[in-house]
Amino acid sequence: MTVYSSDRVGRLRLVLAIVVAIAVLVAVLAAFVLASGDRTAGLVALVVAGLLLGASGAALKLLGEAGRGAKIATVATGVVCVLSGLVLVGTWLALLLPLLGLGVLFLALIPDDPEAVR
């Protein structure tokens, strides 16, 4: 049973691709922080990047079916984005990640008619 229309799947893929890009950027920045010698901040950023990559990758994979699993994965990705912003407080990502997470949650949770032809 599909829960998302093809239009919604396309929009979610775009937003989740942005989450993947930001996660890769966080991973690169974490590597630089680790190389500079701040192990705690670098490891926290690396964990955040891993969680973002894992959640968004799983959601992207499940969006092909547009089923219930895809909805659960996209909601989980939105929650991870919001919480990651709280973890990275004091950086510019603390503003960007919660906004992106709220966007993912909005797209994932608002009602959609998968049978509608658009």
Q: How many domains does the chain have?
A: 1
Examine residue 114 and state whether it is found in any structural domain, yes or no: no
Examine residue 83 and state whether it is found in any structural domain, yes or no: yes
**Cβ–Cβ < 8 Å for 101, 82:** yes
Residue range(s) defining the domain that contains residue 49:
6-109
Burial class (CB in 10 A: 0-12, 13-18, 19+), 94: middle
Q: Is 70 helix (H, G, I), strand (E, B) or coil?
A: helix
Examine residue 11 and state whether it is found in any structural domain, yes or no: yes
Examine residue 42 and state whether it is found in any structural domain, yes or no: yes
The per-residue pLDDT for range 18-47, each reduced to its tens digit, is 999 999 999 999 999 999 988 999 999 999
Please give the share of the chain, as a percent, with pLDDT higher than 70: 96
Examine residue 118 and state whether it is found in any structural domain, yes or no: no
Examine residue 24 and state whether it is found in any structural domain, yes or no: yes
